Structure 1
Amino acid sequence: MAHGTQMRRHLCGIQTAWTDAGEAEGAVAAVAEIIDRAALGHLIVFFSPAYDAQTLTAALTARFPGVALTGCSTSGGISPAGSIDRGLVVIAFPRQGFRIVSGLLTDIARLDVEGAASTVRGLRRLLDQGRPDAGSSHRFALSLIDALSNAEETVVSAVAWALDGIPLIGGSAADDLAFRSTVLIHEGALWRDAAVILLVETDFPIRIFKSDNFEPTSRKFVVTAACEEARRVTELNAEPAAREYAMAVGLDPENLTPMSFAAYPLAVKIGGEYYCRSISRVEPDGAMTFFCAIGEGVVMTLAQPRDIVEATRTELENLDAALGGLDLVIGFDCVFRRLDAESRQVRHRIADLYKRYGVVGFETYGEQYRSMHLNQTFTGIAIGRAEVPEDRGVKTTR
């Protein structure tokens, strides 16, 4: 756990700040005091659902006037000093070295796919304006999506189509496993049933990634009854869903918990690869609701976790080598990975890795990677080190 309020200035000029202050105004005041506000271009914030979101947004707007602001609620923050169960994480982008444009997709539960694609194309044109060499720099797109709209697959498909090759990464807003209210911030206002899309162009080397720590077993389940719109499965193998799942993993169906789902994930095979489809909860009638779209006829495979510490270490080491040294990683980490790490008593070892490699981000209800919506995965954008002109005066604290 991270305690107090801290800030790190990265070589690329990004400042990351974090606090576990107990209330919204105090949290904003704490980070505003230590962030250098000169030449800020964009703030991305990840915040605890324990904060009053309206108060938080008003305080951020007042403390950082004229600075573009986006963000979302979480199931926990990730900072270079460790995990933050209740608090605020801020990523402050400088104007120099980063060009960022953002847009909002609304009513995503009934998404107008062509309208969403048009919005993204408009962001691409805006990023290209006045830049004859547009496209020669490093670009990525970042998505923050309201998880409770059950619309990530549709949003990601429409956005990826319109990005025309610009890689997409992101996370689904969360609310600490309450499943009551996830919220986004865009341009000083709060939004639900929405998605925020940012396009980022930078002078620094970047690489997107995804990492998981499960492998398939031979146990299969066929979805024999489901409501796809609600991501709700009532039958597996023609038996009540929760009972069939519990029997397969040797648990009492009456005592299934998020920790159970993290320890015994289900996966589907797409294009030769397995992707997790995490269970969010068991309903009173024995049905199971998922974090990802699921429909009748889908074959799911029971997966078993591999060593989460080694899988994470390998991914970060590979990124570090590929980029010639990591400066910062903006990460989207499924909340079930945290639960799995806690159950295996290795959460502190994951935190040590995140500290070593400068990971900052949040714990999600789902992760986006290119054109896919995923579960129980760690995705993100890694920013590498580059030569920094002396007159920029950038310092790093580690």
Structure 2
Amino acid sequence: MKIATARTQADDAVQAAYALARTIKTRISTPKLLMIYFTEHYDVQALQRTLYRLFPGVPLIGCSTCYGVMTQNGCTSGPAAAIWACSDDKGSYGSALVSHQAHRHVRDSARMALTQAIEESGRCGELPKLIALHSTPGEEEATLSAIREELGVSVPVIGGSAAAETVGGNWAIFDHKETATSGIAISVFYPSARVSYSFHSGYAPTQRHATVTDVRGRALVSLNHQPAAEVYKRWYESETGLTLDPTDSLFSQSTLYPLGTQTGTIHGLPYYTLSHPTFINAQGHMELFSQLEVGQTVYFMSGTSEGLISRASRVVESANDHALCQPEPLGGLAIYCAGCMLHVKDRLDQVADNINTALYNAPFVCPFTFGEQGLFKGGELSHGNLMISAVLFHKD
């Protein structure tokens, strides 16, 4: 297996596709899979059509990213696109996109996308070693649940929800057949290389916690039977000593102080899935980028800017599987939350340098997404916010 990446800041979608193709073809003559990340500046249909014309018959998956994209060469701001490619004579790969339809439940769309991707890989009846998931924001929990039910076990997933410059912006996904602004895109991997993975939050719980007593969709209504927005405001102001103004970008104010639910423990230590508060809706309820359930205990979590910069490399180091053997990564994929990225935007090259060190300078691509999906070491498949997911491919 061989991995290569390329990036471009060409203004035009067609020019961007040609620039990416020229670089990749000097490094990999016959790719088995292409993964493309792009900012909203591009004509998505033109980008998709041109790439497939330049790489006929090659499975591909595309997902929009917020602000820019990161590779081993640093962070590139928009207009920007990056491509991840692999060749693998002994491996198999497939991809598929299914658009959401009003008459079809999201679980059925997820099953269809997974089945079609596996069929395209030619490995029907075999469990993939890895699934890459790029859906549009909104129903990620149901999508993961359907994947788990369809396969019967937890297969490693690296996922990031499509993003744009703004929440509710011009996000998009595509495969080699179509583009969509609402749907699910999946790639399945049957690589000849060994796969390792990691999924982390990097935030710590405080002593403040409560029970979820009412939710409506992704709107958190009440905690301990009190208005959730008021409870969160009290926690925030007590913990930080700052005044919380919910009308002044709750999204950015809460980046270092999300809510968390304990997902499991490893070596006796708990780990958490995060939910990022985004705004207070017209009913006074707190909207989140993920789903909570009545009866769950939620914790007021705390992070730091320095932690956001350093934790990407820690996640990659965790994925390096030091306990198994001396790591020799061929390359990797990483997913970094857009909310975290915006908080440390001026220091993203430092984040890239840290990942390079942890990856032994092997090639990687990392988009900035509006939701992250991954498999915890304890086996829980989860969707969260302000998270980092990483997958590495190793020489055996």
Normalising by structure 1, report the TM-score.
Answer: 0.82
Structure 1 runs of 4+ with >6 Å offset: none
How much does 1:296 deviate?
A: 4.2
How many residues end up aligned between the 2 structures? Answer: 365
Distance in 2, Cα, partners of 1:126 & 1:331:
24
Partner in structure 2 of residue 176 of structure 1: 165
Cα contact 2:118–2:124 (8 A) shared by 1: no
- The letter of the residue matching 2:368 is E
Structure 2 residue matching 1:327: 3-state secondary structure:
strand
Distance in 2, Cα, partners of 1:285 & 1:122:
41
**Is the counterpart of residue 62 in structure 1 residue 72 in structure 2?**
no
Distance in 1, Cα, partners of 2:84 & 2:353:
20
CA distances 1:174-232 after superposition (whole Å, capped 9, x unpaired): 1123313321102231123211122111111210211221010011244444312xx12
How much does 1:50 deviate?
A: 1.7
Please identify, of 64-73 and 48-57, the stretch whose mean Cα deviation from structure 2 is larger.
64-73
How much does 1:167 deviate?
A: 2.1
- The letter of the residue matching 1:141 is I
Structure 1's 128 and 22: CA in aligned 2 closer, same or farther, altered over 3 A?
Answer: closer
- The letter of the residue matching 2:42 is Y
CA distances 1:110-146 after superposition (whole Å, capped 9, x unpaired): 5263674466356546646599xx67xx821111111
**Is the counterpart of residue 302 in structure 1 residue 275 in structure 2?**
no
Correspondent of 1:120 among 103, 111, 114:
114
Matched residues, percent identical?
Answer: 23
- The letter of the residue matching 2:251 is P
Structure 1's 26 and 167: CA in aligned 2 closer, same or farther, altered over 3 A?
Answer: same
**Is the counterpart of residue 376 in structure 1 residue 386 in structure 2?**
yes
Structure 2 residue matching 1:49: 3-state secondary structure:
coil
Correspondent of 1:144 among 113, 117, 134:
134
**Is the counterpart of residue 247 in structure 1 residue 234 in structure 2?**
yes
**Is the counterpart of residue 80 in structure 1 residue 68 in structure 2?**
no
How much does 1:234 deviate?
A: 3.8
Structure 2 residue matching 1:179: 3-state secondary structure:
coil
Structure 2 residue matching 1:35: 3-state secondary structure:
helix
Cα contact 1:108–1:151 (8 A) shared by 2: no
Cα contact 1:256–1:282 (8 A) shared by 2: no
CA distances 1:57-109 after superposition (whole Å, capped 9, x unpaired): 22222332332221111113121111223110101222524310223333277
Structure 2 residue matching 1:173: 3-state secondary structure:
coil
How much does 1:172 deviate?
A: 0.9
Partner in structure 1 of residue 371 of structure 2: 366
Cα contact 1:247–1:253 (8 A) shared by 2: no
Distance in 1, Cα, partners of 2:118 & 2:45:
30
Correspondent of 1:329 among 305, 309, 332:
332
Partner in structure 2 of residue 283 of structure 1: 281
How much does 1:168 deviate?
A: 2.1
How much does 1:362 deviate?
A: 0.7
Structure 2 residue matching 1:72: 3-state secondary structure:
strand
Q: How does 1:83-102 map to 2 (within 5 A)?
A: 83-86=75-78, 87-102=80-95
Distance in 2, Cα, partners of 1:108 & 1:331:
29
RMSD, aligned CA: 2.8
Structure 2 residue matching 1:182: 3-state secondary structure:
coil
Distance in 2, Cα, partners of 1:118 & 1:73:
22
- The letter of the residue matching 1:113 is R
Structure 1's 294 and 315: CA in aligned 2 closer, same or farther, altered over 3 A?
Answer: closer
Partner in structure 1 of residue 185 of structure 2: 196
Where does structure 1 lack aligned partners over 5 or more consecutive residues? 1-11, 387-398
Structure 1's 158 and 24: CA in aligned 2 closer, same or farther, altered over 3 A?
Answer: same
CA distances 1:276-321 after superposition (whole Å, capped 9, x unpaired): 1112333355432111112444432100115234433333334343
Cα contact 2:59–2:93 (8 A) shared by 1: no
Normalising by structure 2, report the TM-score.
Answer: 0.82
- The letter of the residue matching 2:313 is R
Cα contact 1:146–1:173 (8 A) shared by 2: yes
How much does 1:48 deviate?
A: 0.4
Structure 2 residue matching 1:105: 3-state secondary structure:
strand
Structure 2 residue matching 1:40: 3-state secondary structure:
coil
Structure 1's 127 and 339: CA in aligned 2 closer, same or farther, altered over 3 A?
Answer: same
Where does structure 2 lack aligned partners over 5 or more consecutive residues? 238-243, 266-270, 376-380
Distance in 1, Cα, partners of 2:369 & 2:63:
10
**Is the counterpart of residue 53 in structure 1 residue 58 in structure 2?**
no
Correspondent of 2:255 among 225, 243, 262:
262
Distance in 1, Cα, partners of 2:105 & 2:124:
31
Structure 1 residue matching 2:344: 3-state secondary structure:
helix
Partner in structure 1 of residue 219 of structure 2: 232
